[in-house]
Amino acid sequence: MTTSQLLATHLKHQLGMLKWHLDDFSDADMFVRPCPGANHAMWQTGHIVASTGQLLAMVSDTFRTPIAEGLTSRFTGETARLDDPSAFPTLAELRQAVDTLADAAGSWAAELPQSLLEQPSPDPVKAWAPTRGLLLAGIASHVQMHVGQIQVIRRKLGKPHLF
């Protein structure tokens, strides 16, 4: 297994973990906030879909997100405060977006050459991830961090612990 294949598998796995954690959520569950000021699962999941596409394009400009801008543009710093379901896609649409992104990102990332992974990251993320390989790993970690936040929402809703 190459480094690219490992990182691609890790990212696809983390996006799968996100989807798994939402499998028993209803549309209403997606708008529960664990505490005042915290983001609900709808925004967090949409943020992952939007930001993952943007960050992957920083790894290499050959990545083109398969997710329509009409969906990703709904997840901004301003929309994080909204609780109106009409401002967001449906849970079914968001689940499909996670699947589509995971498949596209996994296939694309598995083919990245080692030489690209060793290149410095673009300036906006260089302090967070000095190389493009570390950026790719960090994208998966970003997904994992949000899965942890969704775990808190699961507990608030009384849903079973998954692991």
Write the DSSP assignment of 101-121 as a string of letters.
HHHHHHHHHHT--HHHHTSBP
Q: What's the confidence (pLDDT) of residue 163? A: 74
Q: What's the confidence (pLDDT) of residue 146? A: 97
Task: Please give the distance of CA 45 from its chain centroid, rounded to a whole number.
Answer: 6
Which pLDDT band, with edges at 50, 70 and 90, does 162 fall under? confident
Helices marked H in 23-160 — which ranges?
A: 41-59, 69-72, 91-110, 114-117, 132-157
Convert the pLDDT of each residue in 96-106 to its tens digit.
Answer: 999 999 999 99
Cα 48 from Cα 98, distance rounded (Å) = 9
